[in-house]
Homo-oligomer: A and B are copies of this chain.
Amino acid sequence: METTTNTDRTAHTTPSAGAAPVAREDELRQVDAYWRAANYLSVGQIYLMDNPLLTEPLRVEHVKPRLLGHWGTTPGLNLVLAHLNRVINARGAEVLYVLGPGHGGPAALATAWLDGTYGEVYPAVGQDLDGMRTLFRQFSFPGGVPSHVAPETPGSIHEGGELGYALTHAYGAAFDNPDLVVACVIGDGEAETGPLAASWHANKVLDPVRDGAVLPILHLNGYKIANPAVLARVPESELVDLLRGYGHDPLFVSGDDPAVVHRRMAEVMDTAFDRIGEIQRAAREDGARRRPRWPVVVLRTPKGWTGPHVVDGVPVEGTWRAHQVPLHQVREDPEHLAMLESWMRGYRPEELFDATGRPRELVTALAPRGTARMSASPHANGGLLLRDLRLPDFRDFAVDVPEPAVGRSEPTRVLGGWLREVMRANQDNFRLFGPDETASNRLDAVFEVTDRAWTAAVLPTDEHLSPDGRVVEVLSEHLCQGWLEGYLLTGRHGLFNCYEAFIHIIDAMFNQHAKWLKVARQLPWRRPIASLNYLLTSHVWRQDHNGFSHQDPGFLDHVVNKKAEVVRVYLPPDANTLLSTVDHCLRSRDYVNVVVAGKQPTLNLFPMPQAIRHCTRGAGILEWASGDQGREPDVVLACAGDVPTLEVLAAAAILREELPELAVRVVNVVDLMRLQPPTEHPHGMTDAEFDALFTVDRPVIFAFHGYPWLIHRLAYRRHGHPNLHVRGYKEEGTTTTPFDMVMLNDLDRFRLVVDAIDRVPGLPGRAAHLRQRMLDERLRCRAYTREHGEDPSDIRDWRWPHAAGVPAEPSA
């Protein structure tokens, strides 16, 4: 094995390892002022449309009619952000935040406004009275910004909403960013989710030399929505055990007296950054190779801290009632209105802002400068840092195809050879992620140039494990997806390889990323990032090991529901088209690319030049397989996916042999989105193109990798749609052989021939005999597999019989 070399691995500075400064009183005064200012701005965002500085007594018409937002988590987030600013200033640390309690959007917006970033990105929302009014008014207001952290928020790579992914995003951001500390706030509600619970162990794949650090900050404010949170209600000794069990060293900050909490928080943050610095120094300078015990901060503060204590006779601060809007009836109840006013005035805005709305020096002194501001971090707008990959010429990895559909290759194994060179050439900005399936998916050539990332114990019998491995594998699709998202959003490249059967696990995560891309594309200041690339292999048609229980090709349906401008679906039918497709995907930006390709030996169909042409075209006639040259086709056999393509070719061979008077056209679709009209998807064919390929009036038998509905859905507006007959995955089959599986789903060559016979009018009488023979062939194959446990050899070894040099024999 060639080893990964990282030529400057000892040259990384350890920016967080300055001398541990003790927080001075004036620093803490600044922190407190910044915190109060952020709290003031947060309450203002939730409640006010006007009178932002309370320059006049608060009146009903200053208050928004619909009060939407989450106060509960916000003061804690504001505290964390203020203290991070102090650390950045004191140490010159480079910090990216990830706010798990992302519905605390007011906090991220408040800090971006206070540190000046917001006004730079959105000039109409600058540091003046008008800007403050707009900041308040736009929040969760029609046409404004969401109530949670979102792509619109400068400094964010993590959208609020669905919980669970904060820590995996943080680790993804830290990979290959040796100078970065990712401060990740985890709410106690989020801590109950599965993906978050698994994410703690990501420290077993983090290299203290080449990667940055993640500082988890577990924010225990006691409640999720209406219930107490588990981690807030276990004894502290149990929580310590748990965090130590995750491999962390916990540091606790608890309290409800701001002065006490500020002092303790400053102390704990200094300790945490000191330890991070020392861990990195020891690894980078002394070559320490033992897995370190990274710090974690546990922050216990009241939910809705500094908000109303008691409302209408019931306690609010410190309870679940503070989760969203502590005062509900501000426009209806004068007492609530008065409470809101005194709540806001309690932050002493006059100390924090001058009469023009500009934050005073006491506040702005804490804001770092330039890109040191977390809101302005280029890592949070990864496109700024994105560099093109150095991609080796994939044509050099082509398999030789002297005749189509005669030789076989394992497409993913061929791809693996090219990916090895991609990894070799891009040692600091490309990673491969997968749930321990990279070898099973036959991409193991990559292990010739790199290893699996691993900082836990290694045994002599282990292979390909090292702290700086660039293949990241853990048995959690959630973590793989989250790491890749975090890695891409901070300006790098990657590929997620996964069994098709298990990709539904991350349906919801895909949703959020696709929506992020959709919104980010509309923001001129967000620069394009590398696409999120899925390679789905070990697919549903070859369930040799894995039972029917978890087969489902429906991820494609799920993906196609998303905005057309961000999704692409490819089904390359052989090794060379797979190479061409993945090369294209790795060059693309701002998409989600889904590539489905098998790992089992598959007929080679396209010499490389034709493969490139076919992929560029996205769909085309296989001339060599079609018998309609010079005549109008009587039937079109279409296919998308490797197994369907094999069956269609075999069906075409039978038809050409047995019914030579029938003009058969074979069409293969690589780029599924070509089937849609151009009004629906940018890749969509015009009707003229579609009609030229599929005809407008001839029967089209379409053999498809996924659920048949999807083809109808994509093509239902086409002229020829009434003649379209789709065979696809039908949820049939348990334990079986490859061809039996195909037969159980009625996608086999014999059934396709029957379909053609049934749909073409005016066939000669012997077509009826052929039809019956085809059904007999199915019974023969079924009986053979039941008896012998494998498919008949004429099926298993089938190849195109009409090739030059290959005698044309009856194919079945």
Contacts and interface: CB of A to CB of B under 8 A. Distances in A.
A741 to B, nearest CB: 9
A789 B141 contact: yes
A786 interface: yes
Interface stretch (A260-268, A269-277, A729-737): A729-737
A535 to B, nearest CB: 17
B549 A142 contact: no
Q: For chain A, which range describes its interface: under 10, 10 to 19, 20 to 34, or 35 or more residues? A: 35 or more
Contact of A142 (B190, B196, B736): B736
Interface in A491-518: 501-502, 504-505, 507-508, 511-512, 515-516, 518
Interface stretch (A171-179, A709-717, A754-762): A709-717
B230 A319 contact: no
Contacts of A507: 504-505, 507-508, 558
A789 B66 contact: yes
Given A143-B786, A319-B461, A545-B68, A731 B563 contact: yes
A162 B502 contact: yes
Interface string A426-468: 0000000000111110000000000010101111011001000
A669 interface: no
Interface in A202-256: 204, 222, 224-230, 233-235, 238-247
Contacts of A247: 234, 238
A473 interface: yes
Interface stretch (A20-28, A146-154, A572-580, A617-625): A146-154
Main SS at interface, chain A: loop
A262 B227 CA distance: 44
B225 A437 contact: yes
B145 A456 contact: no
Contacts of A235: 457
A801 interface: no
A197 interface: yes
Nearest to A713: B709
Interface stretch (A337-345, A383-391, A475-483): A475-483
A562 interface: yes
Given A233-B456, A240-B245, A561-B709, 19 more contacts: A49-B789, A65-B788, A142-B736, A143-B735, A146-B547, A150-B547, A162-B549, A192-B201, A198-B198, A204-B234, A225-B436, A228-B454, A228-B458, A230-B456, A511-B552, A552-B561, A554-B561, A557-B558, A558-B558
25 contacts: A65-B788, A65-B789, A147-B545, A160-B547, A161-B501, A161-B546, A194-B476, A204-B230, A204-B233, A225-B437, A225-B439, A228-B456, A228-B457, A233-B458, A241-B242, A244-B245, A505-B507, A511-B550, A515-B731, A552-B561, A554-B558, A557-B557, A557-B561, A558-B558, A716-B716
Interface of A: 49, 64-66, 68-70, 103, 140-148, 150, 159-164, 189-190, 192-201, 204, 222, 224-230, 233-235, 238-247, 315, 318-319, 324, 436-440, 452, 454, 456-459, 461-462, 465, 473-476, 478-479, 501-502, 504-505, 507-508, 511-512, 515-516, 518-519, 544-550, 552, 554, 557-558, 561-563, 707, 709, 712-713, 716, 731, 734-737, 740, 785-786, 788-790
